Amino acid sequence: MADSVRVTNDNPITNLDSPGPHLARVINNIDPMRQGGLEVELLLPVGAQDAANRQLYVVKYLSPFYGVTDVGVNGSDPKDYNQTQKSYGFWFVPPDTGSLVMVIFINGNPGQGYWMGCVQDVYMNYMIPGLAASKAASDQAREQDDKQWKESTKSTKELYGTDFVPTGEINRKSIGEGESTINPNIDAMTKPVHPITQVLTDQGTITDTVRGTHTSSSRRETPSNVFGISTPGPIDKRSNAQKGRIGRIDNQINKFVSRLGGHTFIMDDGNDRLLRKYKPSEGPPEYADVEKGETDGLVEFPHDESFRIRTRTGHQILMHNSEDLIYITNATGSAWIELTSQGKIDIYAADSVSIRTESDFNFVADRDINLSAGRSINLHAQSRTNINSIDIVNIQSDASVYLNASSNLNIKATGKLQMSGDSNIDMKTQSFKLGSSTTDILTAGLTHITSLGNLEIKSGNTLISSAGNTEMLSGSNTKITANDFAYLDPPYAPENDTSFVSYTADGFNLDSHKALFKICGEMKAKNVKMLMSNAEVKLVKDAFPAPTYTTKIISCRRAIHSKEPSARTNEVLITN
């Protein structure tokens, strides 16, 4: 005699005549034990059951892989991880109510039922595994946002900029139950636009058939080259989302029943009916259509061969064989990185990019390193900052260039040290030193070298020249050392009361000349070689008598502020 057991309608029944497998429909997927159990109705009722008294069975989840450490060898301390059991294995969320599953009962015992697989609804597998785009998308799309489905619709192309967009399944009720047509062209039938279309639009990839949309659907070809997993996603509880009555016939409730679409894991071996004409590193993404007889495609580069992981909101890791690139992005498209077949790495961030290492950070380029900033470029080091180049170092600015040092500022050249300005060159410091084998300071205007302390110019050869005036001012001493050579070209001593002496705002008066002549005497005493040009006037000749100084008279044109530019006058060249 069969044993009597109790099942979910509390009526005792005997063992089943057959352990199965049986085809069953999911009535309830809420398991109080949270182990994936289902409440199902067998599609072939056992015994005489009417709709009101149909028999329901609780079946457990039969995982293809599951394990747990042996409880018999564990300890008993509930706070010690080392002493508790550890589970691992394969887990998938129980299917929605209305789904078909295959169930078995151990020895026909209805109290030991297990569901071991899901049965597809006819034609309902276009969205698996990757929410593929379709050319059969509806030409109208219902508007939506994060909070609601709106009543209004707009043109799909107007909303998203393209009509090749991800879609849901066809509405099976539009086919018609019992229709006599065998194998209707389901894939050409209109499909509703999937909500992820808005995600890709916001991300900026909706028209990108590599990084955004794709063709990875289980219905693309047969046998299918597409493998993968897609999760159902959260229940869509937005305003105006679809609701329906579900549960046991005697205890049905009105609930949200639609899904937002979930995460996708896609392994696509590619569509071998479309073959890339060029290798990705050698040419554009053009494909030969094999079904149209085109023979110039590369068989090792079928269309859409890729490995893709994408979340419901659009975060994505893509390894694309057909286009030979790796692409990683966040959901909004505000940060991404791409590695291309040409060996390029592109990184984009709408905000900051921060990289830190506790050790060295090295940039090496066999060609150029280019830094460009819309605002400032700031380099900061706790210790020394070195810029070394075996060629020219060029620092250029459309505005000013400032070199600031809290301590010393040292500029050294093994060869010439040249400073030039189209206008003024102003140097102001408490102590200013120039040291070089050759030092040139050139300007088309005034040159000011001002020191509040000592001013020292030391060089094997020193040239200070200016098309205008040159002023060297020191609050303390001006030092020119032994064996230096100085060329002096001061405002000339006046030949008469009307002579031009206004090279500077304050003129160069008699006291200025006497001060200069005194410095020349000091240079003689320090063995500093000197050459000075001046006017042939008594003031000058008396200050530099022979044989202490050598004076040479030359004839020159005097054109500066002269009413007779061709007139000539005598000048003197004085050396010590």
How do residues 312-369 score in pLDDT, each as one tens digit?
999 999 999 999 999 999 999 999 999 999 999 999 999 999 999 999 999 999 999 9
Instruction: Classify 76 as helix, strand or coil.
Output: coil
In this prediction, residue 437 carries a pLDDT of 57
Decide which of 348, 368, 399 is a domain's last residue. Answer: 348
Q: Is residue 336 classed as helix, strand or coil in its secondary structure?
A: strand
Residues 71 and 138 in one domain: no
Is 267 among the domain residues?
A: yes
Give the domain range for residue 137: 133-171+187-348
Residues 434 and 549 in one domain: yes
Looking at the fold, whether 140 and 102 belong to one and the same domain comes out as no
In this structure, is residue 382 part of a structural domain? no
Q: What is the mean pLDDT of the chain?
A: 84
Query: Across the strands, what pairs with 244?
Result: 255
Contacts by 429-435 with C-beta closer than 8 Å and gap 24+?
Answer: 429/453, 431/455, 431/456, 432/456, 433/457, 433/458, 434/458, 434/459, 434/462, 435/459
The verdict on 428 and 562 lying in the same domain is: yes
Tell me, yes or no, whether 44 lies in a domain.
yes
Q: For residue range 258-279, what is the model confidence (pLDDT) as tens digits? A: 988 899 999 999 999 999 999 9
In a domain, residue 408? The reply is: no
Residue after which a domain boundary falls, among 348, 370, 395: 348
Of 73, 164, 170, give the one whose Cα is nearest residue 126: 170
Domain end: 317, 348, 379, which one? 348
Q: Are residues 165 and 297 in the same domain?
A: yes
In the predicted structure, residue 435 carries a pLDDT above the cut 70: no
Structure-model confidence comparison of residues 344 and 470, the more confident one: 344
In 3D space, the residue among 239, 194, 226 whose CA is nearest the CA of residue 212 turns out to be 194
pLDDT above 60: residue 3? no
Confidence of residue 36 (pLDDT cuts 50, 70, 90): very high
Give pLDDT, residue 47.
Answer: 47
pLDDT value of residue 564: 66
**Sign of the dihedral defined by the CA atoms of residues 329, 332, 335, 339, in that order:** positive
Task: Quote the pLDDT of residue 469.
Answer: 53
Q: Are residues 112 and 231 in the same domain?
A: no
The pLDDT score that the predictor gives to residue 142 is 85
Confidence class for position 185, pLDDT limits 50, 70, 90? confident
| Beta bridge mates, 436 | 413, 459
- What is the pLDDT at residue 499? 55
Looking at residue 461, its pLDDT comes to 55
Tally of domains within the chain: 3
Determine the pLDDT at residue 2.
37
Same domain, 436 and 522: yes
549, 576 contact by CB (below 8 A): yes
- Please tell me whether residues 137 and 193 are part of one structural domain: yes
Q: Are 72 and 149 in a shared domain? A: no
Residues 88 and 155 in one domain: no
- pLDDT for residue 335: 97
Q: 212: pLDDT confidence band, cut at 50, 70 and 90?
A: very high
pLDDT of residue 297: 95
Q: Is residue 472 part of a domain?
A: yes
Q: What is the CATH number of the domain that holds 421?
A: 3.40.50
**What average pLDDT does range 569-575 have in this prediction?**
92
Count of residues in the chain: 576
What's the pLDDT band for 1 if we cut at 50, 70, 90? very low
> Do 166 and 97 reside in the same domain of the chain?
no
Q: Is 152 inside a domain boundary?
A: yes
The whole-number pLDDT of residue 429 equals 61
Is residue 181, in this structure, part of any structural domain at all?
no
88 phi, psi to nearest 5 deg: -160, 165
The yes-or-no verdict on residue 48 having pLDDT over 50 is no
Which amino acid, one-letter code, is at 156?
T
In a domain, 354, yes or no: no
Residue 554 has pLDDT above 50, yes or no: yes
pLDDT digits (tens, 9 = 90+) for 478-537: 667 777 888 888 888 887 655 545 555 566 788 888 888 998 988 888 888 999 999 999
CATH number at residue 80: 2.40.50
Q: Kindly report, residue by residue over 84-110, the tens digit of the pLDDT.
A: 999 999 998 889 999 999 999 999 999
Q: What is the dihedral of CA 61, 64, 65, 68, to 10 degrees?
A: 30
Q: Are residues 251 and 287 in the same domain?
A: yes
Q: How many CA atoms lie within 13 A of 199 on its CB side?
A: 24
